[in-house]
Amino acid sequence: MHILPADTYTVLNKTILNDQDRKLLVMLYQPIIGTTSINLYFTLWSYLDKTELFSEEWTHHHLMTSMRIKLIEIEEARKKLEAIGLLRTYLKQGNINQYIYELYSPVGAYEFFNNPVLSISLYNNIGVTEYEKILEYFKMPRLNLKEYTDITSCFSDVFEATDMHYFESSIEDIRRTNSRKLELNAKIDITTIISMIPEEMLNSKSITKETKELLYRLSFIYNYNDDEMRELIRNSLSDKRTIDKVLLKKNARKFYQFEHSGKLPSLLYRNQPEYLRKPMGDNSKKAKIIYQFETTTPYDFLLSKYNGAKPTKNDVTILEYLLVDMNLNPGVVNVLVDYVLKINNNKLIRSFVEVIASQWAKSKVETVDSAMSLAEKEYKNRKNYETKTVSKKESKPTWFNQEIESSKASLEEQKEMEKLLSR
């Protein structure tokens, strides 16, 4: 469901927003989801009434003119806000669709830096120097209180209970700070993983909901499967047969860096963005191929091309180069990978990939359809060039490979030749 300019929206505040949230959004969230998404959040925030509860009804055309961006950019920015937990969207369909945008608070600095998905994404986008500066900014100063005595009064020191009239009141709708948790699709089966670790090593009853969420997040950000997560847990157990969460995060990061030459993962689109996909309804063979390119992650696509064999470190590095350095969309990357494998004997050669990627990036190829057309054109040019090269014959002397009759020179001819040579 794509937004139309006439579609309306209302902003609803599900939390309590303050100036500290602005700093969190700019310093922690903006490097991950970009300025357009943060500007959209601030714009929606600005439409709230004086009580900061809800807004009037506006059209998306107004939002376009206010932010000076296209609808597809608004839709992409909105999805990033939803994905990172800052927004929830509701839709009521009709002649004119009505949207409700619920605003949520950013998580606090402590929760942010303790979330491996968010903290690692920030680290990769700004680098170690800036990351350490931001971390230092949010740290509490440490004061030496050894020479001080805590004289704080407790509640009972100041107040006492007296006869009170009974009252009953609903507090369900009282405003409070409200943040959304990151919603991830489970890539691992924790029950199976835990069952394969002996009870004498790990107490399965110690696995809390919080621990499970951490395991899901680590498996997502580092792309770990069940076997890798099991080994990770076994290497992160404490003497009390519980999972040491600090050690678990440390080991997860070290193992990934060891496997990827010291690099850490980045957040990328899983597959082709919705607004760049081919509209549904076409049942042709080409449309089905396009759909496969658009809905498959580059890693899974490469996995399918290798018949289930795990891609090498070099292959994964090439995918990261295409997605991060060249900023190509996932569907376009799939087409490029498929094309390179086709013309290179099923081998992904870095130098060859870089040449094509550079050309496609300059041509601003964004959709799968345009990528396929360009690949098909290059493939035909390549075939025509090879055909011409093979069919082209070298120019040869008229005497080449011809049989020439030989005859013995006469005595007079020999003498004439000797005079010619001596001269």
Residue 350 has pLDDT above 70, yes or no: yes
Give the whole-number percent of the chain exceeding pLDDT 90: 24
Provide the residue type at 25 as one letter.
L
Residue 401 has pLDDT above 60, yes or no: no
Q: Across residues 371-376, what is the average pLDDT?
A: 87
Question: Across the chain, what does the average pLDDT equal?
Answer: 82
Residues 6+ apart with CB under 8 A from 277: 294, 331, 367, 368
Q: Across residues 92-98, what is the average pLDDT?
A: 93
- The predicted pLDDT at position 395 comes to 52
Euclidean distance between CA atoms 407 and 59, whole angstroms? 101
Among candidate residues 376, 365, 279, the one with its CA nearest the CA of residue 329: 365
Euclidean distance between CA atoms 254 and 282, whole angstroms? 47
Give the lowest-confidence range in 188-202, 295-309, 352-366, 387-401.
387-401
Pair 272, 368: CB distance under 8 Å: yes
Model confidence at 79, pLDDT cuts 50, 70, 90, reads very high
Residues 6+ apart with CB under 8 A from 202: 194, 233, 234, 237, 241, 242, 243
* pLDDT tens digits for range 34-68: 899 999 999 999 999 888 898 999 999 999 999 99
Give the lowest-confidence range in 54-68, 127-141, 211-225, 276-290.
276-290
| For the ranges 23-37, 220-234, 377-391, the one whose mean pLDDT is highest | 23-37
Contacts of range 336-339, beta carbons closer than 8 Å, 24 or more positions apart: 336/360, 336/371, 336/375, 337/298, 337/301, 337/302, 337/305, 338/293, 338/301, 338/305, 338/375, 339/375, 339/378, 339/379
* pLDDT tens digits for range 316-344: 778 877 876 777 888 888 899 898 888 88
- The predicted pLDDT at position 86 comes to 95
Residue 397 has pLDDT above 60, yes or no: no
- The predicted pLDDT at position 399 comes to 47
DSSP reduced 3-state for 383? helix
Among candidate residues 77, 60, 72, 65, the one with its CA nearest the CA of residue 11: 60
Q: Across residues 157-166, what is the average pLDDT?
A: 70
| For the ranges 203-212, 271-280, 406-415, the one whose mean pLDDT is highest | 203-212
Q: Across residues 134-149, what is the average pLDDT?
A: 89
- The predicted pLDDT at position 187 comes to 75
Residue 392 has pLDDT above 60, yes or no: no
